[in-house]
Structure 1
């Protein structure tokens, strides 16, 4: 009898986990390792019901100066709930193999304060789950600094090429649309 009662908390935890996964949009299911940290970013806990910009980055790309503009956008819209996630990738052969170098470029050289992950695959069958869903909802990144604007329901509002600067009016308008979107709970 005691053994059966011990199984109840484990069962409740399992059911709770399934309910949380069901409440979480497909895009945000899973986690990614945080750049130069021992922790992971639980995408659902961090970004559910929040407007989000996801950018695949590369330290040695000619578009790397966009980090400054992305940080400016982050600071401008953070009070309105915007979250930003940078995902370094070597898919286009322009990212360091040393995550300390990647962190230096992001944090020291460009003053990035938004979350950055350890380098991930962002294209093809072995792309991380986040980028597989982004590609399914819009398209796969064609180069570094491809930008995705995601609404509070986990749906891509718009995606932008590397050529689109962070202060581009269309990019800003997409962010404002994502901020104005209703959360899943409503």
Structure 2
């Protein structure tokens, strides 16, 4: 399992395969009446867009920290595990990376209440549509999914902020 996590962390191709397989599965689950070819084409387009966004973010982060994408994956792994690099050059690179990512997370946090309100409006709209049409099963499943997803986002954000703040203070104390 650890090897799979490392492979997914370092490889855009592995992430693309995972997104594609999950996308085809979701299309098959929700669009049973559609043709398989359309599922594959649609999922391939969505996968290409998602991987393009991830690659652009990695490139931007790499330029800000002064390291290649593989180095970013390794430094992010060290941040998650709270490992301090022994090499002073790697510590300086990690300090840049932590500052850039922490700044991005804190700036993104300003939009989080608006994003969550938007998700709540969509969930409430689905419930209203369910009440009006008399079918509450799908809207309730959707609302539960939205609540679980938003809770997961909060948990992951809080955890990432803790890891980055810890690493920032550890790097400042060490250097």
Q: How does the TM-score come out when normalised to structure 2?
A: 0.24
Instruction: Name the structure with the higher strand share.
Output: 1
Q: Which structure has the higher relative contact order (CA within 8 Å, separation 6+)? A: 1
TM-score (norm 1): 0.23
